Amino acid sequence: MLDRLQKIIAHAGIASRRHAEQLILSGQVRVNGIVVTELGSKADPSKDKIEAAGRLIESEEDHVYLLLHKPPEVVSSLADPEGRRTLRNFLRGFPKRVYPVGSLDYADSGLVFLTNDGDLTSAMLKSWSHLPQVYHVKIKGRLTLEELDRLGKDTGTRLRTVRQPDSTRGRAANFWYEVHTTGAKLDVLRRTLFKELHPVEKVKRIALGHLSLEGIPQGRYHLLQESQADTLRNPQPAPKSLRPFTRPTNPHRHPTRPPKPKSPR
């Protein structure tokens, strides 16, 4: 399948998309032995020999799918020109080259889906605005039931209060809420809460479609079966209650022990 060179290079983990554009413009990209310097040029990684910065991009034949529990302060890509931690730090030892579909902000944590299946990636990105997502969001202060209902209607989301980590000790001043949304509506909610003097303090994505983060420790990942990943191809309405995450047989784990996850405060 033909795709833009900078996208192919970024998906291969050689460079970010912006850096990939610089590699093309500086003459460091070859397709079938010919130097390509024009942005927007396309190639088929399954048929063409593509080299970037002296590295050969190999085509992927076997598709793999995995969910990764991204810690906060990690870039949702495989490379970062600023030298910050990326998803690659948590994929050491994984034998296949995969790339993330969608992203989470640097400060946010939670579920990230990665694959080397270009067709599924294309289908997901085309229908991203309809793909159900569920987040746990901590805000400054707390909302009344009336405010939850109004904000949900104003932003096209669905909000409900969840059990507060410090509620039994009477210290829950800033509340957590569960947000069911699609597309970029979380950004709309974030801006609206800021205007209402309830700025968002923490964000954690706990579900994408019918796939849940449950059972995946922070900094670890689990392999998915193709049938599980295929549910992301044609988004269905968000479930009222999350289905439990089905742990695949023989899940891959990060080879080193991750830092002990902190309880939300």
154 is catalytic: no
3-class state of residue 174 by DSSP: coil
Distance separating alpha carbons of residues 16 and 31, to the nearest angstrom: 19
Annotated catalytic residue, options 62, 80, 105, 187: 105
Q: What tokens does 157 get?
A: 């989301």
Exposure string for 118-136, b = 16+ CB within 10 A, e = fewer:
bebbebbeeebeebbbbbb
Residue partners of 205: CB distance under 8 A and separation at least 6: 104, 108, 109, 110, 111, 112, 133, 134, 135, 213
* Helix, strand, coil share (%) of the chain residues, nearest 5: 25, 25, 50
Phi-psi region of 213 (alpha: psi -120 to 50; beta: other; left: phi over 0): alpha
Residue partners of 224: CB distance under 8 A and separation at least 6: 65, 66, 67, 211, 248
Q: How far is CA 193 from CA 249, 258, 265, in A?
A: 41, 33, 19
- State the catalytic residues: 105
